Structures are given as structure tokens and as C-alpha cells.
Amino acid sequence: MKNVPKRQPELADPILDAIYRDAALSLAKDIDIFYQDRAEEIKMLSSHGNISKLVEVGCGDGGLAYHVARRLDKTEVIAEDVDPIAISEAKKRFSAPNLTYQVGSVYSLSKRHKDLDRVVVKDSFHHFDDLRSALKQINSSLKHEGGLIGWDLGRDRFYNELCIKNPDFEKLATEIQEKRRKSREKAIEFLESLGPKGNAIMSYQAAYTYKEMKRTLTNTGFDVLMIGPDEKRGYGLFAVKVKPGTKSDILLMPCL
């Protein structure tokens, strides 16, 4: 991949992890409506056939998993995140009879699950350093003709749009990278001084492009059935695990 920036470093660093998590958890109240929209899309993409088990990977505060569990009340919904503090916060915030939480990394997903009907990943791809391994794990955890439903920021947007609107973004992004390379303490101090803007810059910088995403999905055995209409703005996608030469009969619905 050309010009791939570093992914989010926070999980390797407890202080950066905490800065990022606090920002994400405090934002969560304001984005409930987005969770609800996404949950409706998941419901539409699950209206065909019997969806008995769904896992959300990288569930953060649990808001999306909760709205999904309420809409698909016959489905076992398991919300996972690699960060134990995020999981304990999620348990405090959202509960439903068919929703359980568990600490776990995408890189070991197929050790825990083999028979999933749906895997959901919202805004977590840009945290995965090894996208190919993550997608392979997701593929192995899905049933034949199970589906991955995902959304994320598009790196194309960072370069093409955000930098135009905010001329200082590109400069700050370079500064963050340099500070990270030289000194962890300086990087932390600098990110703290930037507040939410720093998180936005880091996230867009770490995101994959539409092309990278689509190619890696194809190379890991997925059939990309649908992708958001505007690849420059980030994307929604629905990909299905199919054996080569098999035709999927999954009903398609718009997911962005």
C-alpha cells in the first residue's frame, strides 16, 4: 500500500489509550442518533434469513450493539473490544437481554467464533494495523454466506477534503508524526493541547482508502456486494463471505 500512515498507536500506549478513550466516551452521548441510523441499516441487511448470532468488533461504549440488540431481539448479540476499560464502561451504560460483552481482539476472533451470521465493524478499521489479518479473522468467524457490515472514515477524505477546509490539518498531522517519532511525552503533550482536533487528525490519518479497503476485502475472500456511493467521504460497506463461483442470495439494501 502506498503512503500508508501509522495506525492509531493508543492501544500500545496506556496514556494515549486513555486520552483517546475519554474523548470517544464523552462524544458517545452526542452520536446516539448515528448509532440508531446504523442499527436500522444493520436490521435491513439482516432481514433476509435467520440471523442467530452477530458480533460487533471494537464496540467502544456499546451504543451501537445496544440499538442492534433492541431491533434484532431474537439474535444473540455479542459486543467485543480489545480494551477492558471500554468494555466495563459499555456494561455500565447499555444492557439488553440478548446482549453480552466480552474483551477480545479482532486478531483472535475466529478462535472465539466460527458460526457467525453477521460481523459489524463501525469506525474501528482505522485502528487495525494489520487489516489483512483482521479481515481473514472475520472471514473465518463467519458462516458460509455470513456477512460483514462495516463503516469507517476514508483516508481519501482526510487528504482531499479536510485539508482543504482546514489548511492547518496537514501541517499538524506531520507535526504529530514527528513528535511521535522523537518522544512519546512530547507527542502526548501535543495531542492533549490539540484536544478533539488531535483525535480527528489521527483518525483520518490512520484510516484506509476506499481502494485499499476494497482490494483487501477481495484478497481475503470477501465479495464486496455494496459500498457507499461516495468513496471520497468515507464509506459504508457490506461484504459477504462466498465460495468462489457461488452466487449469494443475500438481499441487498442500501447501507449508506
- Rounded to a whole number of angstroms, the minimum distance from the CB of residue 213 to ligand SAM is 16
The residue among 86 and 242 lying less far from ligand SAM, judged by its C-beta, is 86
Q: Least distance (Å) from ligand SAM to the CB of residue 12?
A: 10
Closest separation in Å from C-beta 122 to ligand SAM: 4
Contact string 98-137 vs ligand SAM (x = CB under 6 A): -------xxx--------------xxx--xx---------
Comparing CA positions, the residue from 97, 100, 123 lying closest to residue 112 is 100
Considering beta carbons, is residue 153 or 173 the nearer one to ligand SAM? 153
Sequence-ordered list of residues with C-beta below 8 angstroms from that of 187, at least 6 positions apart, any chain? 16, 176, 179, 180
How many positions of this chain bind ligand SAM (CB under 6 A)?
19
List 103's β-bridge partners, or say none.
81
- Asked if 205 is part of the footprint of ligand SAM (rule: CB under 6 A), the reply reads no
**Cβ proximity to ligand SAM, 101 vs 169, nearer residue:** 101
Q: Residue 235 belongs to what H/E stretch? A: strand 235-241
CB atoms within 10 A of CB 13: 16
In the bound state with ligand SAM, the residue whose beta carbon lies nearer, of 205 and 223, is 205
Pattern 51-90, binding to ligand SAM, x per CB under 6 A?
A: ------xxxx---x----------------xxx--x----
Q: How far is the CB of 136 from ligand SAM (least distance, A)?
A: 13
- Binding residues among 4-33 for ligand SAM as defined by CB under 6 A: 11, 24
- Smallest separation, CB 107 to ligand SAM (Å): 6
Mention every residue, 6+ apart, whose C-beta is less than 8 A from residue 170: 159, 163
As a residue count, the chain comes to 256
- Kindly state the smallest distance separating residue 22's Cβ from ligand SAM, in Å: 12
**Based on CB atoms, which residue is closest to ligand SAM, 24 or 173?**
24
Place of cell 483516508: 155
Q: Are 237 and 224 in contact (CB under 8 A)?
A: yes
DSSP string, 127-171: G-S-HHHHHHHHHHHEEEEEEEEEEE--HHHIIIIIHHH-THHHH
Instruction: Give start and end residues of each alpha helix (H) in 29-129.
Output: 32-44, 63-71, 84-93, 109-112
Least Cβ distance, residue 41 to ligand SAM (angstroms): 13
Residue pair 53/64 in contact (Cβ under 8 Å)? The answer is no
* Binding positions for ligand SAM, rule: CB under 6 A: 11, 24, 57-60, 64, 81-83, 86, 105-107, 122-124, 127-128
